[in-house]
């Protein structure tokens, strides 16, 4: 791969720091991927308390205060698709994933997205490289080592091409400024460099990594797990969905167990 640009080196340092500070909430995936459950709001008690607005004034502080009856209510609400109480618990994930994974992930519309922009920054100069497991079907490697060597060199060339042409565009813009052809930079974002980035990003492959904040309620997260942890989902998004599930289940184990039970019983 090409040498990392400044933004990518900073990102690597940031990932290392997040892993150091929040080891139980973070996972690495593939050659440059990352996921963190940065924050969550609400828990099993939030769900049961919300549902009980209909029937009682009894409220629980947290899942540790649950009786068998409370656990049974949680299960029954989920099994019988009483959807809205499950919309009151939120999760904020941050993940660094290849663009082709994001194309699939963003189809989950009931959630909020904020993504790294190649209009305002240079691309993350790292592309996804499938390891042997990702390249194999039933133990048979569908792409051999020669194909992978070419793949990596092609990706590297694209990042190098971007850097070369971005530097050249910047040099031309500054020369035109020096000659008075273009106006001097007046603070804020430079529209000329910005337009160069907008156009040069067109050569970036769907294997290039991007960086996302994803905020989602539990009802929608369960739908994501149901669809993207199944064997027919693509290997790479499955890896992220499995990682998101692991982080979620560490945070809210009772809700995770209840969800597993309901999904198994419904064969979903």
Ligand X SMILES: Cc1cc2nc3c(=O)[nH]c(=O)nc-3n(C[C@H](O)[C@H](O)[C@H](O)COP(=O)(O)OP(=O)(O)OC[C@H]3O[C@@H](n4cnc5c(N)ncnc54)[C@H](O)[C@@H]3O)c2cc1C
* Identity of the residue, 113 or 192, whose beta carbon is nearer to ligand X in the bound complex: 113
CB of 107 to ligand X, least distance (A): 4
Catalytic center residues: 228
CA distance 81 to 51: 12
* Identity of the residue, 161 or 235, whose beta carbon is nearer to ligand X in the bound complex: 235
CB of 256 to ligand X, least distance (A): 19
Give the Å distances, CA to CA, from 177 to 95, 174, 189, 228: 39, 5, 15, 51
Closest CA to 125 of 99, 97, 160: 160
Give the SS3 label for residue 256. helix
Closest CA to 33 of 231, 233, 207, 247: 207
CA distance 99 to 203: 13
* Identity of the residue, 109 or 267, whose beta carbon is nearer to ligand X in the bound complex: 109
CB of 104 to ligand X, least distance (A): 7
* Identity of the residue, 25 or 237, whose beta carbon is nearer to ligand X in the bound complex: 237
CB of 86 to ligand X, least distance (A): 12
Q: In what order do the strands lie in the sheet with 112-115?
A: 26-29, 33-41, 90-98, 209-217, 112-115
CA distance 134 to 128: 11
CA distance 201 to 121: 10
Give the SS3 label for residue 250. helix
* Identity of the residue, 83 or 253, whose beta carbon is nearer to ligand X in the bound complex: 83
Which residue's CB comes closest to ligand X?
109
Which residues lie near ligand X (CB under 6 A)?
Answer: 107-110, 220, 223, 227-228, 232-233
CB of 113 to ligand X, least distance (A): 11
């Amino acid at each position: 791969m090409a040498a990392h640009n400044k933004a990518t080196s900073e990102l690597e340092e940031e990932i290392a720091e997040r892993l150091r500070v929040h080891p139980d909430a973070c996972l690495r995936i593939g050659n440059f991927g990352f996921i963190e459950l940065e924050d969550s709001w609400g828990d099993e008690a939030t769900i049961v308390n919300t549902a009980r607005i209909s029937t009682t004034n009894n409220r629980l502080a947290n899942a540790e205060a649950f009786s068998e009856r409370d656990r049974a209510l949680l299960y029954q609400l989920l099994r019988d698709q009483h959807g809205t109480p499950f919309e009151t618990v939120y999760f904020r994930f941050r993940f660094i994933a290849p663009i082709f994974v994001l194309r699939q992930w963003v189809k989950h519309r009931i959630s909020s997205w904020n993504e790294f922009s190649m209009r305002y920054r240079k691309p993350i100069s790292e592309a996804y490289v499938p390891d042997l497991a990702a390249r194999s079907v039933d133990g048979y490697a569908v792409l051999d080592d020669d194909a992978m060597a070419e793949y990596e060199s092609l990706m590297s060339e694209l990042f190098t091409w971007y850097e070369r042409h971005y530097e050249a565009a910047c040099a031309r813009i500054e020369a035109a400024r020096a000659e008075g052809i273009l106006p001097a930079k007046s603070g804020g974002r430079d529209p000329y460099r910005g337009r160069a980035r907008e156009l040069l990003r067109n050569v970036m492959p769907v294997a290039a990594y991007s960086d996302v904040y994803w905020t989602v309620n539990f009802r929608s997260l369960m739908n994501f797990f149901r669809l993207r942890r199944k064997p027919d989902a693509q290997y790479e998004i499955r890896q992220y969905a499995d990682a998101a599930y692991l982080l979620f289940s560490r945070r809210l184990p009772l809700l995770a167990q209840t969800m597993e039970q309901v999904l198994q019983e419904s064969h979903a």
